[in-house]
Structure 1
Amino acid sequence: MATTDAHDPREWAGTRVVPAQNCYRWYRVWVQPDLFNDWVVWTAWGRLGSAQYRQRLYPVADCESATALVQHIIARKIRRGYRSHPSF
């Protein structure tokens, strides 16, 4: 299982920098309730230094499911070369 920020296991930010491949990416995932108090996992990603980015949200049944999904996403990103970065 991936390790995350000690403050909240439901939030993570990472970067992947590979100059040889012209790869300068950032990724962020976090959990928050929506307007109806349902849980949502948000993901956002883009190129470092760019104002443009994309985001996606995943509705989940409860907070435990949200935490499990976040941990799964973090593990996948770390396998793909992302490293933890302070939230931005």
Structure 2
Amino acid sequence: MATTDAHDPRGWAGTRVVPAQNCYRWYRVWVQPDLFNDWVVWTAWGRLESAQYRQRLYPVADRESAAALVQHIIDRKIQRGYRTQTSY
């Protein structure tokens, strides 16, 4: 199980590379406050070497909820074959 600090502005970044399946993907998740000082979990993902990407925001009630959601997302991504990226 990977761990992350929900207060770390860099969040977590992972990659999944499976050449036999033509799978070259990246994923990133982080937490930050929005304009109204509510907490939001941001996720972004796309194909490596591509400028296109998608993102999704998950509003949460507080920092503790954000940390739990981030940990859940990271655990699922690791189960699906993503590896933690060592540099951002």
State whether TM-score is above 0.5.
yes
2-side partners of 1:78 and 1:28: how far apart?
Answer: 12
Matched residue count: 84
**Identity value in percent:** 82
Question: How far 1:87 moved relative to its partner?
Answer: 4.8
Deviation >3 Å, runs of 4+: none
Gaps of 5+ in 1: none
Question: How far 1:3 moved relative to its partner?
Answer: 1.6
1-side partners of 2:24 and 2:69: how far apart?
Answer: 25
Partner of 2:5: 9
2-side partners of 1:52 and 1:23: how far apart?
Answer: 15
Partner of 2:70: 70
Q: What is the alpha-carbon root mean square deviation over aligned residues? A: 1.1
Q: Tell whether the 8 Å contact from 1:9 to 1:71 is kept in structure 2 after alignment.
A: no
Question: How far 1:73 moved relative to its partner?
Answer: 0.1
1-side partners of 2:42 and 2:57: how far apart?
Answer: 4
TM-score, normalised with respect to structure 1: 0.91
